[in-house]
Amino acid sequence: MKFLALGFLAALHAQLALASDETAPATAQEAGVSPAVSGNLFYFNRHRKRYDVGQERFRDNLNHQTLQGSIDISTPFYGNTVGFDLGLFYTTDLANSASPDHEMSFFPWRDPWSPDWSKRDAKSGPSLYRAHLKLQHATGDRRFWGKAGYFQPSGPGVIGVNWSLMPGTYRGLETGLDSGPLSIAFALADQYKSPWFSDLYHFRKNDGETRVDYLWSLGARIRLASGFSAEAAYGESQGFLRSAHLKFKYNSPDEKIYFSYQLYGMADRDESDSPNNQYSGRFAHQHYLAAAWRPAPWILRAEFLHTRAPSAQPQHAGYFAYRLIGRYGGANGAYEPWWDNRSDWNHNRESAVFLGVSRSLDDLLGVSGFTVGLSGVYGWGGRVYGVDERLRESAWSADFAYAVPRGPLKNARISLHYTRYSNNSDQPSYSDPGFKNLFQDERDLKILLVIPWEF
Q: Which of 338, 346, 342, 337 is nearest to 396 (CA)?
A: 342
* pLDDT one-digit tens code per residue, 331-359: 999 999 999 999 999 999 999 999 999 99
* pLDDT one-digit tens code per residue, 151-160: 999 999 999 9
Mean pLDDT of 37-45: 98
Q: Which of 119, 138, 231 is nearest to 179 (CA)?
A: 138
Mean pLDDT of 318-322: 96
Give the model's pLDDT for residue 16: 30
- Using CA atoms, how far apart are residues 97 and 49, in angstroms rounded to an integer? 12
- Using CA atoms, how far apart are residues 293 and 119, in angstroms rounded to an integer? 47
* pLDDT one-digit tens code per residue, 404-432: 999 999 999 999 999 999 999 888 899 88
Does the pLDDT value for residue 64 go beyond 70? yes
Q: Computed over its alpha carbons, how large is the radius of gyration of the chain?
A: 22
List the domain range (segments joined by +) for residue 355: 2-454
Does the pLDDT value for residue 110 go beyond 50? yes
Does the pLDDT value for residue 182 go beyond 80? yes
Mean pLDDT of 420-449: 94
Give the model's pLDDT for residue 34: 86
Mean pLDDT of 215-223: 98
Give the model's pLDDT for residue 5: 41
pTM, full prediction: 0.91
Query: Which residues have C-beta within 8 Å of that of residue 229, sequence separation ≥ 6?
Result: 221, 222, 223, 247, 248, 249, 250, 251
* pLDDT one-digit tens code per residue, 364-398: 999 999 999 999 999 999 999 988 889 999 999 99
Helix (H, G, I), strand (E, B) or coil at 102: coil
Give the model's pLDDT for residue 395: 98
> Poorest-confidence range of 18-22, 27-31, 245-249?
18-22
**pLDDT band at 196, cuts 50/70/90?**
very high
Report the percentage of the chain scoring pLDDT > 90: 85
Tell me if 188 sits within 8 A of 172, measured CB to CB.
yes
CB atoms within 10 A of CB 140: 7
Mean pLDDT of 192-215: 97
Does the pLDDT value for residue 447 go beyond 80? yes
Q: What is the DSSP string of 1-69?
A: -HHHHHHHHHHHHTT-----TTTSS--GGGGSSSPEEEEEEEEEEEEEEEEETTTTEEEEEEEEEEEEE
More confident residue, 103 or 34: 103
Q: What is the DSSP string of 357-378?
A: EEEE-HHHHSSTTEEEEEEEEE
Give the model's pLDDT for residue 2: 40
CA distances from 447 to 45, 450, 452 (A): 5, 10, 17
The amino acid sitting at 346 is N
For the chain, the domain total comes to 1
Instruction: Read off the CATH number of the domain in which 139 is found.
Output: 2.40.160.10
